Structure formats: structure tokens, C-alpha cells
């Protein structure tokens, strides 16, 4: 389906600032495509981000957009959604933004099952500040602040969201652009908190330091390691080694916070009216 770019992008702001071959553009396109295919009302959809290369995305999207402080996008979005539950609220965040400084807001929104769609442009690195390690940088990888290789364990963001009680968590990559679009559609449609771990490549800082010389090489890395979720469960720990599951990893139903709160308001106002 051809994408009516002018409808969704602030074309006057293009081309965007991202480096050649940066995966963030592919994730962004997947989001736009998902919005288009779902026929979301562009006047009732708000896009919120924190700070980072990824977080620059809203500036190119022709919606109500909010570029907040580093790590806090979900908290700002919480206010928007609670104040106007009829809006679709989509959060665009980076692995540093969502999982380092913003980790607490992520797990709390997941716990509350607030109807937000959070899409993490996960490139395993702090792109905007030129390549420091993030909580997603694989052990042993190089970054400007891990000159001897990353010493810490990385998060598995979907596991984290599930551990926090999230009702929807999924993963895909820029290589799997089509799947990514579909997953984002499913995430937006999910009533409740939905998290998408969108693996993206930063050729400029992650690739260059880690001998992944081209964007395609980085995407090949995704291609080689991704395992469809339905196969993942059947794999032994040894088979899983060096691989990761893609697809929808958890999807359950639970009361959504703005609905629950709306009911309370209704109840109390009726009671007050009696």
C-alpha cells in the first residue's frame, strides 16, 4: 500500500536529521504505516517522545507532538492520556530514554495498564550523545564508555515489561519491517499498555565501533538472530544462545486505567447528582 507521506509527515521539516542508514527511519516508517493502515484520526493522535535521536521522530510527524525531557516521555504521556482518554497516545523512545533514565516510568505505566503504545527505537546505544553504552548494549560490545567492552548485563525489555505486569509486549527489527508494522498495529489496537521493542541500527556509533560496517550488515545481524516467538518456546537454552524472539511475546487482557477511572468519575458524579 502506497503511503500518503504528505498526510503524516511534516514534509517541510524533511529530510530528517538521522544519519544515512540509521534504522530509526525504518521504525518511523513502520509507525506511520501502522497509523495509516489503522486509519487513526490524525487529529486525535498524540505522539510523545523523550530525548535522543529516536526522540526527534515526533518533529517530523504531522500530529500533536511533544518532545519532552530525557526519559520522561511516558510520564508526560500519562498526563495526556488521563486528561483526555479519547486520544490515541503513542510514545516514541530510545533504549537509553526508555530503559536507562526512564526505566521507572516504563515499568509503572506497564503496571498501571494505562492505554499507551510505547515504541522503543532500540539501537543498543546512546546515539544522540555519540555512542555511550546503554542498558541494552550487549555484554562485550564497545561503546565510548565501555572502551574495554561492556561489563554489565543488558535488559531484555520485553521481559522487564512483563515482569512489571504489562499486558502487551512484542519485538521486531528494522530488518523485519513488515512484521514490525503489523506488530505496531496490534500494539496500538491493544486496549491497555502496549510495548514494542523495535530493534534498530545505529551504524554511526554502534556499527562503527563493533565492526558492523554497513547498515545492511547490522540488519543481517538481526536477521540471523531473530527467532519467531512461536518457535522460541520450543527451544532449549543452548539453542537460544545468541538468539532472540520476535513477534508478540505477551498479550493478555486486564482492566485499563482510564476506563476504571472513568467509571469512578461516573459513579461519583451520579451519586453527587442524586
Ligand X SMILES: Cc1ncc(C[n+]2csc(CCOP(=O)(O)OP(=O)(O)O)c2C)c(N)n1
Binding mask 160-189 for other proteins (x = CB under 8 A): --------------xx-xx--x--------
- Strand bridging mode 244-251 / 226-228: parallel
Q: Rule CB under 8 A: is residue 163 a binding residue for its own copies?
A: yes
The 3-state DSSP class for residue 128 equals: coil
CB 106 within 8 A of CB 74: yes
Helices marked H in 59-100 — which ranges? 73-83, 95
Q: Rule CB under 8 A: is residue 151 a binding residue for its own copies?
A: yes
Contacts of 270 (CB under 8 A, 6+ apart): none
Binding mask 85-124 for ligand X (x = CB under 6 A): ---------xxxx-----------------------x-x-
Binding mask 121-150 for Mg ion (x = CB under 5 A): --x---------------------------
Q: Binding segment for Mg ion among 31-39, 89-97, 167-175, 185-193 (CB under 5 A)? A: 89-97
95 binds, among its own copies, other proteins, Mg ion, none (CB under 5 to 8 A by kind): Mg ion
Cis preceding linkage at 15, omega within 30: yes
- CA dist 261 → 73, 147, 155, 167, 206 (Å): 22, 49, 32, 18, 43
Residue in the structure block whose three cell numbers are 515526533? 58
Instruction: Provide, rounded to whole angstroms, the least separation between the CB of residue 169 and other proteins.
Output: 19
Q: In angstroms, rounded to a whole number, what is the distance separating the alpha carbons of residues 131 and 133?
A: 7
- End-to-end, the C-alpha distance of the chain in Å comes to 53
Q: Binding segment for Mg ion among 41-49, 65-73, 78-86, 88-96 (CB under 5 A)? A: 88-96
Instruction: Provide, rounded to whole angstroms, the least separation between the CB of residue 162 and its own copies.
Output: 6
Q: Rule CB under 8 A: is residue 56 a binding residue for other proteins?
A: yes
Provide the binding-site residues for its own copies, judged by CB under 8 A. 100-104, 107-108, 111-113, 135, 148, 151-156, 159-165, 254, 257, 260-261, 264, 268
Amino acid at each position: 500500500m502506497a503511503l500518503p507521506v504528505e498526510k503524516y509527515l511534516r514534509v517541510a521539516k524533511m529530510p530528517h536529521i538521522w544519519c544515512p542508514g540509521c534504522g530509526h527511519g525504518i521504525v518511523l516508517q513502520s509507525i506511520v504505516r501502522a497509523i495509516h493502515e489503522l486509519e487513526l484520526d490524525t487529529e486525535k493522535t498524540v505522539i510523545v517522545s523523550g530525548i535522543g535521536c529516536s526522540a526527534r521522530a515526533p518533529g517530523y510527524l504531522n500530529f500533536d507532538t511533544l518532545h519532552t525531557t530525557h526519559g520522561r516521555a511516558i510520564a508526560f504521556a500519562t498526563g495526556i492520556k488521563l486528561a483526555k482518554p479519547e486520544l490515541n497516545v503513542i510514545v516514541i523512545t530510545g533504549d537509553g530514554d526508555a530503559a536507562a533514565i526512564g526505566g521507572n516510568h516504563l515499568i509503572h505505566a506497564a503496571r498501571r495498564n494505562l492505554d499507551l503504545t510505547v515504541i522503543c527505537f532500540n539501537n543498543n546505544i546512546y546515539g544522540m550523545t555519540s555512542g555511550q553504552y546503554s542498558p541494552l548494549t550487549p555484554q562485550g560490545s564497545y561503546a565510548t564508555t565501555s572502551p574495554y567492552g561492556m561489563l554489565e548485563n543488558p535488559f531484555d525489555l520485553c521481559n522487564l515489561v512483563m515482569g512489571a505486569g504489562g499486558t502487551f509486549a512484542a519485538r521486531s527489527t528494522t530488518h523485519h519491517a513488515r512484521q514490525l508494522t503489523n506488530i505496531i498495529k496490534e500494539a496500538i489496537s491493544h486496549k491497555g499498555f502496549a510495548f514494542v521493542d523495535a530493534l534498530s541500527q545505529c551504524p554511526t556509533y554502534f556499527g562503527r565501533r563493533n565492526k558492523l560496517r554497513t547498515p545492511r550488515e547490522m540488519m543481517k545481524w538481526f536477521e540471523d538472530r531473530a527467532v519467531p516467538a512461536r518457535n522460541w518456546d520450543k527451544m532449549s537454552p543452548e539453542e537460544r544462545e545468541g538468539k532472540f524472539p520476535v513477534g508478540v511475546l505477551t498479550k493478555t487482557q486486564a482492566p485499563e486505567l482510564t476506563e476504571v477511572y472513568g467509571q469512578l468519575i461516573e459513579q461519583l458524579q451520579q451519586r453527587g447528582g442524586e
